[in-house]
Structure 1
């Protein structure tokens, strides 16, 4: 094939809406971890969405340079669409055919790539009139939104924007309302800002009203109720979710998070132990278990030594496992550093602290969090007031208006007053 014809094909491919043109960067994720999550979703989440997961798995195989396996995933997506009860008012093949065109291009099968690019263009022409065009755009925005939501936290804002565009076309669509509510909820959960809004509460409530059978959204609403000090409403939603979908690892992990945030740690651990049996390589489950056991670590005494040692061992095991499962997860590294600090494993904590600070992808809020807990560690366990002062100042020097910064200012004032009084004695 001549370079001119090849360039012409590339120009056509770049105009297609699919995973290859949505700006998904391999360096932003632990690809193995995302693949693991998607395979769990294929096993446990509703059947109608599986073609989307196969599409994303195909793109992940492309990022690994394995286009034969990428083609297998796209074939699974096509088989799933053919046997599924998907509405005839929509055409979910558009993104999939565009992915086919890109994979054939990377396999140097240019004629087949042309064929699939033409298939996409033919479908688009069939949907040129305004009502039909909106239907096609709904599919594309929806799949793009779910893709961003499945990739990594950096993409949650883009996911929310896609769902917003889709909901402008169909405000009553239950699935799109669920996706938008989940994206906004995750953005709020990731924020350490002291002024975080609770926009997701009404969005989650609306999503549950439109689709009461969506138990994952129901437990997210329960968590948001807890954030807003409405325990009774949250507990009622948790009870409903467990009655409706007791064997879902996704429901179990969010139920456990509800219990942990309400300081019902043993109940949280019990739910997470059920979830880890279903999804043993889930970073989220190990991360939540580590948080629970970290909470249980106390100052050692003769009375609690054996139990405390077990809690330390479990906290270290699960936090190290979370890091092993996703080495690019800054949150998992921060948790591991915190666990080492609380276990008074000073050298390991220091090594993890320094390593995490230099990780790609660490943002200013996460740097504040790291310096904040390192300052507390130096203050309380190492009795190093000067070291604590230095790291509280590091938190404050980062101008983000977070809880960590507000608390660091108060801690620093108390420390400096203590040190001033001590110098006069």
Structure 2
């Protein structure tokens, strides 16, 4: 193929809606970790649209340079579409997959095959030019794009929310899209550590639960929102329902454990997380949560044996969370804070410095990191602690960490 034809093909490829044009960067994630999470979803989320997961797995394999496995995953996506109940109206489900095929063939220098799949997409787009059909096509594309961003990394959650919002403009009552939108906004609020209870996600979760009562994961997230508002009765009811509906789902149990931990029922949370670990033994998130639980048991002054066990467990699980997902900023922040609590100053300093240079840090996470470091240094290195409390306040995002940092400086009689 001549250079002119290649350039023409590239122009057409760039117009496709698929994983290769959605600006997903491999350096933003631990690819193996994302891949493992998606594989777990295939096993433990039976109601999910699996062709979407195979599409994402194909892109992850591409990022790893495994073209053969990329094709295998795309073929699985195609088979899943044909075998599922949506097969009679499958064309709109194929646009993203065909786009991925076109890009993979292009990267393999199989330009004629790439062109074939570009033309397949363009044929479908012509079939869906009129408004009702076009809306159905856009609904599927926005939905898949939203779930892809939600599965990829924290910095993509805002993009996920925007995709779901576009889709909901076309169909406000779609249960799956409402669930996706509520989850995206909930996760954004979690990253931003807002001191407000409820937030924007509360009515979205309430609506999602009403429209999609079988979505147990959303139900547990709604329980966590009730917990933020100190409405334990409503939260407990939703948790009990979730445990009755999906007692073996690691996704449900993980959030249930978070509920118990935030409620102060640490032993119950640990018991559930260890059950989840038996189902997903290499889950960074589960190790992360266990690290947070054991960190709660670390006391000052030390209580000898009990404290030594808590420190050992907190360090073990936090280090394992980082090892399994080195791109996870929260895992690194947790490990740094555990080292601080355990009075391992050199390791704490090394982890603090390393984490502060990570590219994917949200401003709120920088606040959290500086806050813990300032608290740790408060009694031994007052001037350094003051400097880090001021770093927290410099970041204007209104979080709990900023509020407490202001109070800490007032107590230390330092100007803000």
The residue that corresponds to 1:420 in the other structure is: none
Distance in structure 1 (CA, Å) of the matches to 2:386 and 2:95: 57
Distance in structure 2 (CA, Å) of the matches to 1:5 and 1:47: 43
The residue that corresponds to 1:277 in the other structure is: 278
The residue that corresponds to 1:201 in the other structure is: 202
The residue that corresponds to 1:18 in the other structure is: 18
Assess if the C-alpha contact under 8 Å between 2:198 and 2:228 holds in 1. Answer: no
Assess if the C-alpha contact under 8 Å between 1:89 and 1:135 holds in 2. Answer: no
The residue that corresponds to 2:61 in the other structure is: 61
The residue that corresponds to 1:342 in the other structure is: 341
**1:201-245: per-residue Cα shift (whole Å, max 9, x none)?**
111111111111111011000001111111110100000000000
Distance in structure 2 (CA, Å) of the matches to 1:397 and 1:127: 51
State the aligned residue count.
Answer: 414
Distance in structure 2 (CA, Å) of the matches to 1:329 and 1:48: 25
Distance in structure 2 (CA, Å) of the matches to 1:341 and 1:168: 47
**1:314-352: per-residue Cα shift (whole Å, max 9, x none)?**
110110011111111111111000000111111111111
The residue that corresponds to 1:219 in the other structure is: 220
Does 1:362 find its partner at 2:346?
A: no
Does 1:237 find its partner at 2:234?
A: no
Alpha-carbon shift at residue 362 of structure 1 (Å): 2.1
The residue that corresponds to 1:163 in the other structure is: 164
Partner of residue 402 from structure 1, selected from 396, 399, 402: 399
Distance in structure 1 (CA, Å) of the matches to 2:87 and 2:168: 18
The residue that corresponds to 2:370 in the other structure is: 371
**1:115-165: per-residue Cα shift (whole Å, max 9, x none)?**
111111111111111111111111101000000101111111111111111
Does 1:307 find its partner at 2:295?
A: no
Q: TM-score, normalised by structure 2?
A: 0.96
Where does structure 1 lack aligned partners over 5 or more consecutive residues? 418-425
Q: What root-mean-square deviation, in Å, do the aligned CA atoms of Structure 1 and Structure 2 show? A: 1.6
Partner of residue 389 from structure 1, selected from 375, 386, 390: 386
Distance in structure 2 (CA, Å) of the matches to 1:243 and 1:373: 38
Distance in structure 2 (CA, Å) of the matches to 1:209 and 1:270: 30
Assess if the C-alpha contact under 8 Å between 1:265 and 1:292 holds in 2. Answer: yes
Q: 1:197/1:244 Cα in 2 relative to 1: closer, same or farther (>3 Å)? A: closer
Alpha-carbon shift at residue 252 of structure 1 (Å): 0.5
Distance in structure 1 (CA, Å) of the matches to 2:401 and 2:47: 42
Q: 1:266/1:196 Cα in 2 relative to 1: closer, same or farther (>3 Å)? A: closer
The residue that corresponds to 1:27 in the other structure is: 27
**Mean CA deviation greater in 362-371 or 311-320:** 362-371
Runs of 4+, deviation exceeding 3 Å: 87-90, 193-197
Q: TM-score, normalised by structure 1?
A: 0.94
**1:159-191: per-residue Cα shift (whole Å, max 9, x none)?**
111111111111111111100110111111111
Assess if the C-alpha contact under 8 Å between 1:38 and 1:57 holds in 2. Answer: yes
Distance in structure 1 (CA, Å) of the matches to 2:396 and 2:171: 40
In structure 1, the residue corresponding to 2:88 is in which secondary structure?
coil
Assess if the C-alpha contact under 8 Å between 2:273 and 2:286 holds in 1. Answer: yes
Assess if the C-alpha contact under 8 Å between 2:20 and 2:59 holds in 1. Answer: yes
In structure 2, the residue corresponding to 1:88 is in which secondary structure?
helix
**Mean CA deviation greater in 183-192 or 388-397:** 388-397
Distance in structure 2 (CA, Å) of the matches to 1:131 and 1:400: 42
Q: 1:52/1:322 Cα in 2 relative to 1: closer, same or farther (>3 Å)? A: same
Alpha-carbon shift at residue 363 of structure 1 (Å): 3.1
Alpha-carbon shift at residue 387 of structure 1 (Å): 2.5
